[in-house]
Chain A
Amino acid sequence: MFRNQLGNLSRVSSQLQRISRVELMSTEVQPAESANSVINEFRTAVTSPGEHSALQLAKFYKIPAEEKKQIFAGGGLPKQYEQQIKTFTEACLMVRQPALELLNYIKNADLSKPAVRYVIYGDNGVGKTLTMAHVLHYGSLNDFLLVHVPWAPNWTKRPKESTNSSTQEGFIDLPFDAAAWLVHFKTQNAKLLQKLQLKTSKEYVWSKRESTPAGATLVELIEHGIARIKYATETTAALISELKLLSTGGQCKVLVAIDGFNAFFHPITRIFSDNKQLVTPDRITLTQPFLDITKYDWTNGICVLSVDKIAMTEGYMDSYMPRYLLGKTGFEHLDPFVPVHVTNYTDKEFLSCINYYMDRHWITKTQPGFEEQLKFMSNHNPYTLMQIVRGL
């Protein structure tokens, strides 16, 4: 099983090397940063992710408050990170190698070709979600329509409400979750939807009295889904198929970002049907459109997916490798994809992080040798570091 996966990885990595070599050259050409943009050794003034390069590596950049509110209002940052943002009174993200690598791929991608899937993977607490957040920020600043699922396992593990689907026999609807997602989509893309004025291509008939005519704006479609929670799931499906059509038609660019994507292929959920039987994710109507949009049969789009051990249930957390987490069906669904490995902090990143914490008064004990101690206690793991530092 692992050999199979390695084979796939090597196939992709040879492709990647070609790209990265091009990238290296391009960074050399870039002009040196102007003096005022460098604040100090752990901060950078370059707030646009599109301009980040190896120069800003291991430095923190600030996400402006409105942008943070627009993109991450409905989730997308870990809960503890949100708390930290509140305490530090600023939203800062570290520019890290995996995010830069991903941004390079995206910037150089040929959008007229079928959508490329990038899979972020790595051990617990290394910063997969924050890497995705970095990409999302880039997407929102560069006129991508964001199709963002903050944490997919929420739907399979703790759905708000589940009902039997009215249209598809034997399927389960998650109307509240679908409506919540629609709200999230709306807030993320409000400005862009206003600007692009995208229209629906066909009429959607919800019931005898309700329907959305062809040529209605997408905003109307979304509004309907939010207002009539019963049809939220179908609205989601309609919206996503519309987006696929529109982007293939070249009217918009779409950035799909799904955190915990492997939850869609994990057979164990916490949803039960009427006769107390376990419902697998492929019997949930809400997963269908998102599986559909991660196929490569459309253009003008990018898929950034992350696979996570925590998205699985107990007993299925042996490895963090995509092949293991996605299983056979999931892997075949995504194949070929570009893997992006997120690792623990490097020494430089670690020191920069410590400096940042000290700057925000988060670490107050600074006897000689404390960095060393923290380094070995946390083993460079960002999340563990956060956990240890909070109690000092």
Chain B
Amino acid sequence: MALRVFGLNIIKNNRNILQNVGKTNGVPTNQGAAAALYATQVTVEAAPAAVQKQKVSKAMKSYLKRANEHDEFMKTQHLEFQIGKRHLANMMGADAETFTQEDINEAISYLFPSGLYDKKARPTMRTPDEVFPARKAAEFDETGRPFHSMFYTAKPNFFQLLHDIVEETNKLNDLEERMLRRGNKPDENQKLETAGFQLLPKEHLERVLVEQIADIEYQNFSNSMERLIASPYAYKSKAFIERFLKPLIDQSKQLEVPKPKIDEQGRQYITTYECLRKTARADVTVRLPGTGKITINGQDISYFSVEQSKEQLLFPLHFCDMLGKVDVEANVEGGGTSGQAGAIRWGIAMSLRSFVDQEMIESMRLAGLLTRDYRRRERKKFGQEGARRKYTWKKR
């Protein structure tokens, strides 16, 4: 758009350098391309300077007015932010020029301590760019003609995206047909790998498109994306697909495995503190090598009288083939039998990670031994008999 005033843009850039803190709503690098396609005309901070009056349509006029107001507003906001930052820096005895966003956060939490539970409810001070989200630039020219053919859908970017996806799919289908006729098969080696990826979540997609979309629309998007990915020649449009994929965290490498320590007898040991399950809490120490001795609060496994709890204790040990090879000591308090057994089970599993190979850790993870079970008793609700059950309905 030729409607920008460059001077202001420069100011904006300078400010960005000034506060070299990553914007939380900034798009990660691999979505940069998507952002470039659909969100180039995102921000408008400038009002068009010279517009011939007689040709300007009503829509454009009102838009220009709004844009001007917004620009003014943002300018004052930025100024106020700068002043506020300086004040803060003075109060904290720091240099205002090098006062970063992190310093601001620190200062705020120090000067305005808040006991509110939700972090969002606590006082903050952030750049106006973050606080006031970006707005779309004008989507029509001076005469009021929309640029985009799907302007009247009110979500042109989104529908354009759907359009593109279908186009890609059709292209791939044609390719497949042609290849089939020729007797060629898709290349197995180049197969698109999507195991570690996930489609962009709805909020993320909205940010990319600068449009609010409904749940069902997101559903349509994900359905058509899945159809595209399912195509045997999906690797041909890899670049397109990857713009809408988000890498997932590798679960097995997520938690760091602690290094075992050495005790007085020269045995390796690991202590896991805070093993929680229901209302029970346990500390579990696993020692290698051992003879399979299990000590719970100074007693042996007969501490648990219920058979199921004993089985639970032995579950991780038996699963890793460590039965009889390690010693287990546990201190447990609170909760009931099942909760205590669950807490110790988790503790043993977590500690055993240090003594088994990576493959076994992954296997334990898949068996659900390394996930903490944070289900709790559900509270009773008023007007109901219990957590879910309602009172028997009586007509009168």
| A73 interfacial contact with B, CB 8 Å | no
Chain A residues with Cβ under 8 A from B317's Cβ? 376
Interface size class of B (residues with CB under 8 A): 10 to 19
Shortest beta-carbon distance from B301 to chain A in Å: 5
Chain A residues with Cβ under 8 A from B314's Cβ? 373, 376-377
| A384 interfacial contact with B, CB 8 Å | yes
| B57 interfacial contact with A, CB 8 Å | no
Please determine whether A379 and B318 come into contact, CB atoms closer than 8 angstroms. Answer: no
Chain A residues with Cβ under 8 A from B324's Cβ? 372, 376
Please determine whether B311 and A377 come into contact, CB atoms closer than 8 angstroms. Answer: yes
Chain A residues with Cβ under 8 A from B130's Cβ? none
Shortest beta-carbon distance from A389 to chain B in Å: 12
Encoded as 1 (CB less than 8 Å from any B CB) or 0, chain A from 370 to 385 comes to 0011001101010010
Please determine whether A376 and B307 come into contact, CB atoms closer than 8 angstroms. Answer: no
Contact (A384, B323) CB under 8 Å given A376-B314, A377-B311, A377-B314: no
Cα distance, A381 to B294, chains bound together (Å): 14
Contact (A384, B302) CB under 8 Å given A372-B324, A373-B318: yes
Cα distance, A388 to B294, chains bound together (Å): 19
Contact among A376, A381, A384 with B292 in the assembled complex (CB-CB below 8 Å) = A376
| B129 interfacial contact with A, CB 8 Å | no
Tell me the residues in window 13-39 of chain A with beta carbons closer than 8 Å to chain B beta carbons: none
Please determine whether B323 and A372 come into contact, CB atoms closer than 8 angstroms. Answer: yes
Cα distance, A337 to B244, chains bound together (Å): 84
Chain B residues with Cβ under 8 A from A376's Cβ? 292, 294, 301, 314, 317, 323-324
Tell me the residues in window 113-164 of chain A with beta carbons closer than 8 Å to chain B beta carbons: none
| B106 interfacial contact with A, CB 8 Å | no
Cα distance, A376 to B300, chains bound together (Å): 10
Cα distance, A388 to B323, chains bound together (Å): 18
Cα distance, A373 to B315, chains bound together (Å): 10
Please determine whether A379 and B311 come into contact, CB atoms closer than 8 angstroms. Answer: no
Chain B residues with Cβ under 8 A from A381's Cβ? 302
| B78 interfacial contact with A, CB 8 Å | no
Shortest beta-carbon distance from B314 to chain A in Å: 5
Encoded as 1 (CB less than 8 Å from any B CB) or 0, chain A from 197 to 210 comes to 00000000000000
Please determine whether B301 and A379 come into contact, CB atoms closer than 8 angstroms. Answer: yes
- Which residue of chain A has the shortest Cβ distance to B313 in the bound complex? A376
Please determine whether B302 and A377 come into contact, CB atoms closer than 8 angstroms. Answer: no
- Which residue of chain A has the shortest Cβ distance to B301 in the bound complex? A379
Cα distance, A377 to B302, chains bound together (Å): 9
Cα distance, A384 to B303, chains bound together (Å): 13
Instruction: Identify which of A377, A381, A388 gathers the most chain B CB atoms within 10 Å of its CB.
Output: A377
Chain B residues with Cβ under 8 A from A372's Cβ? 323-324
Cα distance, A381 to B314, chains bound together (Å): 16
Encoded as 1 (CB less than 8 Å from any B CB) or 0, chain A from 260 to 288 comes to 00000000000000000000000000000
Chain A residues with Cβ under 8 A from B307's Cβ? 377, 388
| B70 interfacial contact with A, CB 8 Å | no
| B310 interfacial contact with A, CB 8 Å | yes
Shortest beta-carbon distance from A378 to chain B in Å: 9
Interface size class of A (residues with CB under 8 A): under 10
Chain B residues with Cβ under 8 A from A379's Cβ? 294, 300-302
Shortest beta-carbon distance from A28 to chain B in Å: 31
Cα distance, A373 to B311, chains bound together (Å): 9
Cα distance, A379 to B314, chains bound together (Å): 12
Cα distance, A377 to B310, chains bound together (Å): 6
Shortest beta-carbon distance from A25 to chain B in Å: 32
Shortest beta-carbon distance from B162 to chain A in Å: 56
Encoded as 1 (CB less than 8 Å from any A CB) or 0, chain B from 20 to 59 comes to 0000000000000000000000000000000000000000
Cα distance, A388 to B311, chains bound together (Å): 11
Chain B residues with Cβ under 8 A from A388's Cβ? 307
Chain B residues with Cβ under 8 A from A377's Cβ? 301, 307, 310-311, 314
Encoded as 1 (CB less than 8 Å from any B CB) or 0, chain A from 348 to 386 comes to 000000000000000000000000110011010100100
- Which residue of chain B has the shortest Cβ distance to A381 in the bound complex? B302
Shortest beta-carbon distance from A373 to chain B in Å: 7
Cα distance, A264 to B110, chains bound together (Å): 71
Tell me the residues in window 61-93 of chain A with beta carbons closer than 8 Å to chain B beta carbons: none
Cα distance, A176 to B87, chains bound together (Å): 97
Cα distance, A350 to B300, chains bound together (Å): 17
Shortest beta-carbon distance from B304 to chain A in Å: 10
- Which residue of chain A has the shortest Cβ distance to B307 in the bound complex? A388
Cα distance, A194 to B7, chains bound together (Å): 127
Shortest beta-carbon distance from B299 to chain A in Å: 10
- Which residue of chain A has the shortest Cβ distance to B317 in the bound complex? A376
- Which residue of chain B has the shortest Cβ distance to A388 in the bound complex? B307
Encoded as 1 (CB less than 8 Å from any B CB) or 0, chain A from 158 to 190 comes to 000000000000000000000000000000000
Instruction: Identify which of B302, B311, B317, B324 gathers the most chain A CB atoms within 10 Å of its CB.
Output: B302
- Which residue of chain B has the shortest Cβ distance to A377 in the bound complex? B310
Shortest beta-carbon distance from B288 to chain A in Å: 17
Cα distance, A373 to B317, chains bound together (Å): 10
Cα distance, A373 to B292, chains bound together (Å): 11
Tell me the residues in window 152-190 of chain B with beta carbons closer than 8 Å to chain A beta carbons: none
Shortest beta-carbon distance from B71 to chain A in Å: 74
Shortest beta-carbon distance from B326 to chain A in Å: 12
Chain B residues with Cβ under 8 A from A384's Cβ? 302
Cα distance, A363 to B325, chains bound together (Å): 26
Chain A residues with Cβ under 8 A from B300's Cβ? 379
Chain A residues with Cβ under 8 A from B318's Cβ? 373
Cα distance, A275 to B294, chains bound together (Å): 51
Cα distance, A379 to B318, chains bound together (Å): 15
Cα distance, A373 to B323, chains bound together (Å): 8
Shortest beta-carbon distance from A365 to chain B in Å: 15
Chain B residues with Cβ under 8 A from A373's Cβ? 314, 318, 323
Tell me the residues in window 101-119 of chain B with beta carbons closer than 8 Å to chain A beta carbons: none
**Interchain residue pairs with CB less than 8 A apart (13):** A372-B323, A372-B324, A373-B314, A376-B292, A376-B294, A376-B314, A376-B317, A377-B301, A377-B307, A377-B314, A379-B300, A379-B301, A381-B302
* With A372-B324, A376-B323, A377-B307 already in contact, 12 other A-B pairs whose C-beta atoms are closer than 8 Å: A373-B318, A376-B292, A376-B294, A376-B324, A377-B311, A377-B314, A379-B300, A379-B301, A379-B302, A381-B302, A384-B302, A388-B307
Residues of chain A whose beta carbon lies under 8 Å from any beta carbon of chain B: 372-373, 376-377, 379, 381, 384, 388
CB-CB nearest 3 A-B residue pairs: A379-B301, A379-B300, A376-B314
